[in-house]
Amino acid sequence: MTIDPQQAADARFLKALAAAGARDPRDYYRDRLRELRRANPEGYRKGVAYYQNKLVPSIAEGDTDPLEAWRDYGLLLARLTAPGRAVAVDATGRTSPFEPPGNTADMLLHLPEKSRERPILVALPASPTQAQLATHQWLVMGRRALGEGG
């Protein structure tokens, strides 16, 4: 009996999420893909091809850590959305250049090269700190006052 690679990859990913107590980013990444399909069809095609040809097979075959593979996919989607660089936001709110494999307690943002574009959330820790939440609200959501916009 042949095991479907998608099912095998999903099972490994769900197991890794549960073991790490990590957040599942797939809904957020689907939203990113929808935005790419609308704004950058070529980027969308590249994102889908990577998913089908690299992400799923590498996880299904056990060649990579599922959490790192999905994080890398999120970084790819962010780069396809807007050229830029990845930064890690630690528990205190300090940023530093992202260096793989990173720390699962850090929030991971993609900062577009064009300063008028908002940062793109790539990964949020399971229990973000107040400093990380404030950074997310300020930079990603564009809220300029605490409590603004609910």
Mean pLDDT of 36-52: 97
Give CA–CA dist 133/104, Å, rounded: 15
Report pLDDT for 140.
83
Output helix, strand, coil percentages for the chain, rounded to the nearest 5: 50, 15, 35
Mean pLDDT of 120-142: 91
Report pLDDT for 146.
54
Interior CA angle at 31 toward 44 and 55, to 5°? 60
CA nearest 51: which of 18, 16, 13?
13
Q: Is the pLDDT of residue 147 over 60?
A: no
pLDDT more than 70, % of the chain: 93
CA nearest 12: which of 52, 74, 68?
68
Give CA–CA dist 49/90, Å, rounded: 32
Please report which confidence band the pLDDT of residue 150 belongs to, taking 50, 70 and 90 as the band edges. Answer: very low
What's the whole-number average pLDDT of the chain? Answer: 92
Report pLDDT for 1.
56
Mean pLDDT of 80-107: 96
Residues belonging to the chain: 150
Radius of gyration of the chain measured on its C-alpha atoms? 16
Q: Is the pLDDT of residue 77 over 90?
A: yes
Please report which confidence band the pLDDT of residue 78 belongs to, taking 50, 70 and 90 as the band edges. Answer: very high
Report pLDDT for 46.
98
